[in-house]
Amino acid sequence: MRNKIVWLLRRARLLKPAYRTYEWAKTLDPKTLQRNYDYRRQAQQTGVPLPPDLFIVKVIGFPNVSLFVESGQTIAQVIETVLARHGVLINSLPSMLEFGCGCGRIMRHWNKLDKVQIYGTDYNTKMIEWCQKHISFAHFTSNELAPPLPFEGHRFDFIYAYSVFTHLSEELQGAWMRELSRVLKPGGYLLLTVSGQSFLNDLSDVEKDTFLRGDLVIRYPQISGTNHCAVFHPESYVRSELAKGFNILDYIYANTYPFVRQDLILLQAC
């Protein structure tokens, strides 16, 4: 039934508006509203402000403010830990970029990196405007759903894209990997995440067959950039296709760290 509804919406060219309405409706549950109100009231007001519930839904899929903050903090710590495993101290990097920064779930926790030029970019202009207003220690700019980025070549020492390639069509993934390679310095680092083997039980029988053949599984590529577009990456595909042109320094499987349900891959530009 769900697939039939999606098919009808797609034919009527209403899939994107319907999904936006679905996201907005998630924020209206009375229990959710009360829980978020209580958390916002108790949260320290001396740090980075908390974004609107609708932005949080677009980033994590749920209007859960506490999960938004706690998961972002943990993921930031994981990124720092993974880099350190390879002798890279994050506060010693001259520059870094978060590709697909949303409304700053991870970015908000870099406020103590006083030696790093920090940039964030996203195709959601409203969330970028919110970041520009409320996250003063970083620089933000918007991009389109497809490349390019508004940066010169070899601009960044480190780029990370958390849960971004999990929501893009195969064509967009290839285009963005080439673009990130362009703006990354030679020898620079790229960290990204994918939904891999740990999601096998979430796939239909047909999808499992596709995945086990080593091919991408993509649901609703026509609404790339939203959480409803879900992509599942076999490890063999990541190694042979997605990471083409990079050296793979680390391949960390899902659930190794708290809140990190996706495989985490650290690459280095050749």
Query: Among 52, 37, 33, which residue's Cα sits nearest to residue 134?
Result: 52
128 inside domain: yes
Residue 8 pLDDT greater than 50, yes or no: no
Domain that holds residue 262: 64-269
pLDDT per residue as tens digits for the range 99-157: 999 999 999 999 999 999 999 999 999 999 999 999 999 999 999 999 999 999 999 99
Task: Note whether residue 24 is domain-resident.
Answer: no
Q: Please check the confidence at residue 19 and state whether its pLDDT lies above 60.
A: no
For residue 42, is pLDDT > 90?
A: no
The C-alpha atoms of residue 203 and residue 232 are separated, in whole angstroms, by 9
Per-residue pLDDT at 9: 44
* Burial group, residue 144, by CB count within 10 angstroms (0-12, 13-18, 19+): exposed
Strands (DSSP E) along the chain, which ranges? 95-99, 117-122, 139-142, 156-161, 184-194, 217-219, 230-232, 246-252, 263-269
Contact between 242 and 193 under an 8 Å Cβ cutoff? The reply is no
Give yes or no for a cis peptide into 221 (omega within 30° of 0): no
pLDDT band for position 218 (cuts 50, 70, 90)? very high
Instruction: Summarize pLDDT for 53-62 with one digit per residue, the tens.
Output: 999 999 998 8
Statement: residue 5 has pLDDT above 50: no
Percent of the chain at pLDDT > 70 equals 86
Full strand arrangement of the beta sheet holding 263-269: 139-142, 117-122, 95-99, 156-161, 184-194, 263-269, 246-252
Lowest model confidence (mean pLDDT) among 35-44, 154-163, 186-195, 217-226: 35-44
Is residue 33 pLDDT above 90, yes or no? no
pLDDT at 25: 67
Q: Which amino acid is at 192?
A: L
Name the band, by pLDDT with cuts 50, 70 and 90, for residue 7: very low
How far apart (Å, rounded) are the C-alpha atoms in residues 117 and 67? 27
Length of the chain, please? 270
The confidence score (pLDDT) of residue 80 equals 98
Q: What is the pLDDT of residue 121?
A: 98
Does residue 207 lie within any of the structural domains? Answer: yes
Q: With beta carbons less than 8 A apart as the criterion, state whether 142 and 121 touch.
A: yes
Number of domains in the chain: 1
Q: Is residue 58 part of a domain?
A: no
**CB contact at 8 A, 165 and 137:** no
**CATH code assigned at 260:** 3.40.50.150
Within-domain flag for 243: yes
Mean pLDDT, to the nearest integer, of 234-249?
A: 98
Nearest to 157 by CA among 138, 180, 185, 120: 185
In a domain, 31, yes or no: no
Q: What pLDDT sits at residue 254? A: 97
Is residue 97's pLDDT more than 50?
A: yes
